[in-house]
Structure 1
Amino acid sequence: MGADGNFKACKNKPVHLPFRPFFLVAVVDAVLGGSGWLQSAFGLRAFGPTGLSAGDWHRDMLLFGMVPAVLTGFLLTALPRWTGHRAVSSHTTYLLILLWACGRVAFLQRLPSLGLAFSAIWVLALLLIAAKAVIASRDRRNFKILLLLVVFCGSNGLVAAPYQVELALRLALVSIIGLVVIIGGRVVPALTIAYVESAGGQIVLSRSVSRERAAALMTICALCSWVVAPAAQLTGIACVLAAFTQAMRAAQWKGWRSLSSSTVLGLHIGYGWIVVGFASLAVHIFAPAMLGQATAVHAWTIGAIGTMALAIMASMIRKHSRLAFMPSRPATGALAAMTTCSLSRQLIEALPGYFGVLASLSGALWIVAFALFMMAYVRALFLVSEK
């Protein structure tokens, strides 16, 4: 059972599974990015041999490294099932991995703009592959995924230029949150139903069309307003409405029914951080002295993106490894570490005297979360094929 919504296991059919190398790459970039976080916590300005500031290294490895890797692994595996289009070849997967490797070499050679350019080419290649599958199948439902990939690719290019970096970073974050909202809206309820039924229970999710449309409209308004006018009062109002409608949407999925499954619970928690991010952003806009924008941004980047990345990768690995909803202490520990990591980062502005302690704790817990994830799924990720 897995994140792509198809819960029937393939039997006696070897397949190429693109998620395996990309999820491994995602873990590598997550750990490297977390290391930059620790550097900044201890007041070190540059990260290792790259010459980048610790903050820029942290940003580039996570936003333009880990995130594209998770997206690539997930979409290349899920899109063939969603669209009915044939899966990508192993040669395509290897070429995309080569682009990632070229980017890392460029960073080590103190050429961060070139490294970001390779990342932009990588996302562009993913966009073209996805567009081919979606257009060939006339799958209108996934056009919005293509649009968000276009925005993310463009933001990557702007940062590489560099041109209007702050605007580009907002565009990147908005596109990723948009993808999390869309994919989460498919994955979270589907896996919740599957888990409850696998445990012998029954569940009916009454999903209101009006609530779904209201959440989509308010989220689009809030994200677009934040990109264009991040401090405007109208943006704050839109964020309040987005937080409320997204909370109403998530409540329909009955997350309390999945308390005994760390993977499914992680999806609900990760999606909940989207609501927290919108609410925090509204507080920042209306009372900037009370809460900084960084707190809201990290509710999205650590809480929503970090937690959802772990949970979605875990669910896809479990499906193709036939692990279903088997309990795993390392997987549960990874979720606990990521949640504590996010909470620690949220406390930094409330307890400025403990900045170093809380920042280093968050960085360490981020790395621990991905280390535990690898401990749980390393065998499944290194398998060559499913039989």
Structure 2
Amino acid sequence: MGLPAWLLVLLDVSFLPLAALVMGRLVIRAKLWRNLMFVPVLLLLALANLAMHLGVTQGKLSLIREGGYLGVLLIAMLMVLLGGRVIPFFTSLKLGRPKVAPIAWLEALALGSAIGVVLLQLLVLFGVPVPAGLLALVMLVAAASNLVRLARWEGYRTLHEPLLWGLHISYAFVSVGLLMWALALMGAFRVELALHALAIGGIATMMLAMMSRVALGHTGRTIRTLPGIGVGLGLMFVGALLRSPVLAMFPQITHWTYNLSILFWCIAYLIFLFHYTLPLLSTRVDGKDG
């Protein structure tokens, strides 16, 4: 006999608030105040999760859809925040060049507009009638400002290093996804196409690039591109193109784009598992904790 549905919902929905509580305590104890912003983000992700559960139990498709949208946009916002911290730093460190100095107004516009998109989507989730034109405008501002921000990080110098260009490309897909979302709100195509630009090209590709880097450093190994990781990142990039912009332009090839993007995703992450499963299940090679 299975567990009752309400208990499964409770267990699932409770995880993120508990994670926020634990993280908040650790951040306060360490006085790393700039990381405190992750607490409300985790709580908003919990809200998005709850909305989707309520949508299922109440048979309300809109709650499922808008909750899912909020979750993806929240993670995209985190990419804007964290990407701004680590991508220019990793790039300058690897290339042996000075870190590009941020432009205050551009940083504020890039992050502020990304936060604005999330807040507007939160209003939509609560049933507030947000004009599609307003949401599209804020998304366009976020897309443009973050694209300019990315261009300043000298990604063109990283073509020889997959662990770097993977981060740059995935960040670029934040702008691609938001641009496509704005166009979708204007009736150009389905929002789901923009959603996949963010989810595959942005989130999943950045996850692969970042995990491939930090899994080496945090197991005491030299940070380098292992064989096939560049291929995996390239496959994620192609899969994202097929599943979003290409499909938007050529909807008649839907079947092929679905199958190829799924296949490319699976191959990319299988390459990661091949290289990293044993190191991640083993103690650090340098004998340190962590």
TM-score surpassing 0.5? yes
Distance 2:4 2:273 in 1: 30
Letter in 1 for 2:102: R
Greater Cα shift, 159-168 or 121-130: 159-168
Greater Cα shift, 290-299 or 111-120: 111-120
Distance 1:119 1:269 in 2: 32
Give 1:322 shift. Answer: 4.2
Q: Which residue of 2 aligns with 1:277?
A: 177
Give 1:247 shift. Answer: 1.0
Equivalent of residue 344 in structure 1, options 239, 242, 260: 242
Letter in 2 for 1:150: L
Equivalent of residue 381 in structure 1, options 280, 283, 288: 280
Give deviations 1:111-170, integer Å, cap 9, x for gaps: 777555433322223212211111223333112211111100121122223362222212
**Structure 1: 5+ residue runs without aligned partners?**
1-105
Q: Is the alpha carbon distance of 1:243 and 1:137 closer, same or farther for their aligned partners in structure 2, counting shifts above 3 Å?
A: same
Q: Is the alpha carbon distance of 1:251 and 1:111 closer, same or farther for their aligned partners in structure 2, counting shifts above 3 Å?
A: farther
Greater length-normalized contact order (CA 8 Å, ≥ 6 residues apart):
1
Distance 1:127 1:190 in 2: 27
Q: Contact (CA 8 Å) 1:155, 1:172: kept in 2 or not?
A: yes
Give deviations 1:242-284, integer Å, cap 9, x for gaps: 1111112112221122221111111111111001011111111
Q: Contact (CA 8 Å) 1:149, 1:175: kept in 2 or not?
A: no
Equivalence map 1:83-232=2 (5 Å): 115=8, 117-162=10-55, 164-197=63-96, 202-227=97-122, 228=124, 232=132
Q: Which residue of 2 aligns with 1:266?
A: 166
Q: Which residue of 1 aligns with 2:138?
A: 238
Equivalence map 1:49-64=2 (5 Å): none
Q: Contact (CA 8 Å) 2:52, 2:64: kept in 1 or not?
A: yes
Q: Which residue of 2 aligns with 1:313?
A: 211
Q: Contact (CA 8 Å) 2:73, 2:118: kept in 1 or not?
A: yes
Equivalence map 1:292-307=2 (5 Å): 292-307=190-205
Q: Is the alpha carbon distance of 1:369 and 1:135 closer, same or farther for their aligned partners in structure 2, counting shifts above 3 Å?
A: same
Letter in 2 for 1:133: L
Distance 1:367 1:148 in 2: 29
Letter in 1 for 2:111: A
Distance 1:273 1:264 in 2: 15
Letter in 1 for 2:251: P
Give deviations 1:216-260, integer Å, cap 9, x for gaps: 122222332244257611111111111111112112221122221
**Structure 2: 5+ residue runs without aligned partners?**
none
Give 1:204 shift. Answer: 3.4
Q: Contact (CA 8 Å) 1:261, 1:325: kept in 2 or not?
A: no
Q: Is the alpha carbon distance of 1:383 and 1:281 closer, same or farther for their aligned partners in structure 2, counting shifts above 3 Å?
A: same
Letter in 2 for 1:267: L
Q: Is the alpha carbon distance of 1:111 and 1:260 closer, same or farther for their aligned partners in structure 2, counting shifts above 3 Å?
A: farther
Q: Which residue of 2 aligns with 1:370?
A: 269
Q: Contact (CA 8 Å) 2:205, 2:233: kept in 1 or not?
A: yes
Distance 1:270 1:116 in 2: 32
Q: Is the alpha carbon distance of 1:110 and 1:350 closer, same or farther for their aligned partners in structure 2, counting shifts above 3 Å?
A: farther
Give 1:181 shift. Answer: 1.6
Distance 1:117 1:370 in 2: 31
Q: Contact (CA 8 Å) 2:243, 2:261: kept in 1 or not?
A: yes
Give 1:349 shift. Answer: 3.3
TM-score, normalised relative to structure 2: 0.86
The runs of at least 4 aligned residues of structure 1 exceeding 3 Å deviation read 109-119, 321-325
Letter in 2 for 1:315: R
The count of corresponding residues between Structure 1 and Structure 2 is 274
Q: Aligned with 2:247: secondary structure? A: coil
Q: Contact (CA 8 Å) 2:219, 2:280: kept in 1 or not?
A: no
Distance 2:228 2:3 in 1: 36
TM-score, normalised relative to structure 1: 0.66
RMSD (CA atoms): 2.2
Identical pairs, percent: 23
Distance 1:192 1:216 in 2: 20
Q: Is the alpha carbon distance of 1:253 and 1:138 closer, same or farther for their aligned partners in structure 2, counting shifts above 3 Å?
A: same
